[in-house]
Chain A
């Protein structure tokens, strides 16, 4: 049982480049989330999804897009990378709306230069 798998683990982007952060879970969880964590800070919710085909904005959605075509996958897209998007990105999933906790991936460390 892999849980929540995030790829890549590390990435360096140049300003203006685009990329997709991948997130997959094998627990048949309906709910999935993307957070970002800046150095020394807590986590901020970017987007979340309550099921395939349904996504919604979190606290800091600007500069990001998501899609949820399957229950398993929840990719996060950065279209025009900016230095302010340098952060660690965590994907999480939960069976219900988090009543029994979220399962987090190991994160993607992104640097925009």
Chain B
């Protein structure tokens, strides 16, 4: 019972914004949306998280729709080093940080 749906893969041109979508239509009111990425075979790296307001940090922006059924992770100026698998996770409990297959983002020169 996957809580999130993401495209399998996406491409983005270097220097352009990368917009990664995530559907979480069954999200509950107290569940947060988290984004991580995994570069090659390294351990996943935390990017950002949010509940219902849009969030921004030095890495990315997170836009959550008003009904909270979907979100978009935005990398404003993608570089080749942003090529990775990006995971969208809906979480409420400590044992509920479940990493699905994610979206494989390829940034092309």
Contacts and interface: CB of A to CB of B under 8 A. Distances in A.
Interface of A: 4, 31, 33, 35, 37, 40-45, 48, 50, 56, 58-59, 88, 90, 92, 97-107, 109
B34 A101 contact: yes
5 contacts: A97-B94, A99-B32, A100-B49, A102-B46, A104-B45
Contacts of B41: 88, 107, 109
- The DSSP consensus for interface residues of chain B is loop
A42 B85 CA distance: 10
Interface of B: 32, 34, 36, 41-46, 49, 87, 91, 94-95, 97-102
A71 to B, nearest CB: 16
B44 A98 contact: no
B95 A43 contact: no
Contact of B42 (A31, A50, A107): A107
Given A31-B94, A98-B91, A43 B101 contact: no
